[in-house]
């Protein structure tokens, strides 16, 4: 399915999409169901190691830190393509890359130097909410199995990088959630927020990390939308109902048109929010995230309907897209002052 976005890509961006598409086809497509149903089987770690070989484990880091130094939009393109194979695995890559990026921005590169080879990953615990004598991140993709957990201290600019085995860290893997299963999401509590920080992340840098997280989730949702549309289109062309191809029914064509329109809208907003000089207006990032995630939810629901009863069977992959789309809508959990932040951005 070629959309307007594909026609606007530059030469380097096309090469990137082709490279990540090759990784998806060679690695993720065959194991997507397996890593969704058995995320601790070892296949996730193997896939992550192979992702590192094509530069997806250090995408945002500078060249001096051993990274690919991707611009934000290129990173979004890569996530969208990975998400077409497995949205949960894309969420793991997003959490890992932003954790390393935040550490480099805070001048704490040594904390992440060991995590670029692909043998293990980090996880970004965002937002980290103050409570009692410490803080809590209720949903952290990649939290289960992560070597490092990275978060910003509530109410400050200090950034922490801790091991799940460190004093004051309580990690609870969420087991078998509805979506993003293969990322092994976890809840994280930390009671030693007043301890020595790994570095300091300025306000502007923190806003940039948050904006990139929102755009990353939007990009994952776009991958879901694309995959839902392609699966529905292929199924509708192959199956017959009432002596006619399924795609011959007007309501099915309207569903496919709605999927394409939602994907186009999300693509345009992500491209706009990620472009320019690399600065972010969080309002634009939030709008792109909401539109893209709502479009993914609508596309996956329509895709299930196009498949009929088969849409609920794991063999066809549509029910996984629907579960992951719902988690795109919910993640990252909103901060208590989310509305205030949006209004401030719009001023």
How many CB atoms neighbour CB 253 within 10 A? 14
Q: What radius of gyration, in Å, describes the C-alpha atoms of the chain?
A: 20
Query: For residue 119, what pLDDT is reported?
Result: 77
CA-to-CA dists, residue 323 to 31, 129, 135, 179, 273, angstroms: 17, 26, 28, 5, 26
Greatest CA separation for the chain: 70
Give kind and range of the element (H or E) at residue 123. strand 122-124
What CATH superfamily is the domain 122-200? Butyryl-CoA Dehydrogenase, subunit A, domain 2 (2.40.110.10)
pLDDT of residue 88: 97
3-state secondary structure of 58: coil
Query: pTM for this one?
Result: 0.92
Neighbours of 158 (CB within 10 A): 19
User: What pLDDT, in 10s, does the model give residues 126-139?
Assistant: 988 877 678 899 99
3-state secondary structure of 50: helix
In the predicted model, residues of the chain with pLDDT beneath 50 are 335-347
Domain parsing of the chain, residue ranges: 4-115, 122-200, 203-346
Q: What is the pLDDT of residues 16-55, one digit of tens each?
A: 999 999 999 999 999 999 999 999 999 999 999 999 999 9
How many secondary structure helices (H) and strands (E) does the chain include? 11, 10
Strand 244-245 vs strand 240-241: parallel, antiparallel, or unpaired? antiparallel
pLDDT exceeding 90 applies to what percent of the chain?
63
The reported pLDDT for the residue numbered 259 is 95
- As a CATH number, domain 4-115 is 1.10.540.10
Asked if residues 8 and 271 have their Cβ atoms less than 8 Å apart, the reply is yes
CATH class assigned to 203-346: mainly alpha
Rounded Cα gap, residues 101 and 103, in angstroms: 5
Helices 318-330 and 203-238: angle between axes, nearest 10 degrees? 160
């Amino acid at each position: 399915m070629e959309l307007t976005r594909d026609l606007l890509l530059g030469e380097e961006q096309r090469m990137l999409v082709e490279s990540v598409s090759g990784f998806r086809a060679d690695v993720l497509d065959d194991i997507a169901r397996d890593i969704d149903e058995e995320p601790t089987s070892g296949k996730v770690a193997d896939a992550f190691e192979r992702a590192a070989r094509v530069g997806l484990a250090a995408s945002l880091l500078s060249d001096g830190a051993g990274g690919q130094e991707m611009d934000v939009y290129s990173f979004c393109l890569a996530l969208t393509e990975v998400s077409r194979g497995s949205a949960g695995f894309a969420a793991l890559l997003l959490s890992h890359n932003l954790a390393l990026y935040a550490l480099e921005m805070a001048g704490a590169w040594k904390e992440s130097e060991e995590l670029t080879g692909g043998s293990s990953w980090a996880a970004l615990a965002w937002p980290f909410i103050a409570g009692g004598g410490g803080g809590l991140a209720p949903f952290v993709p990649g939290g289960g199995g992560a070597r490092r957990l990275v978060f910003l201290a509530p109410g400050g600019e200090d950034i922490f990088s801790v091991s799940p085995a460190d004093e004051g860290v309580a990690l609870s893997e969420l087991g078998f959630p509805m979506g993003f299963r293969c990322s092994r999401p976890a809840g994280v509590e930390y009671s030693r927020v007043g301890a020595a920080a790994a570095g300091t992340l300025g306000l502007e840098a923190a806003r940039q990390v948050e904006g990139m997280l929102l755009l990353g989730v939007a990009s994952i949702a776009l991958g879901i939308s694309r995959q839902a549309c392609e699966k529905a289109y292929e199924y509708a062309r192959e199956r017959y109902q009432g002596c006619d191809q399924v795609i011959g029914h007007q309501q099915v064509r309207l569903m496919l048109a709605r999927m394409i329109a939602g994907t186009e809208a999300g693509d345009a907003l992500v491209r706009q929010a990620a472009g320019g000089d690399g600065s972010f207006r969080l309002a634009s990032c939030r709008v792109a995230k909401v539109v893209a995630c709502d479009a993914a939810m609508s596309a996956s629901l329509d895709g299930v309907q196009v498949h009929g009863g088969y849409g609920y069977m794991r063999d066809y992959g549509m029910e996984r897209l629907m579960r992951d789309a719902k988690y795109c809508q919910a993640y990252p959990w909103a901060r208590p002052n989310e509305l205030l932040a949006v209004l401030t951005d719009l001023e």
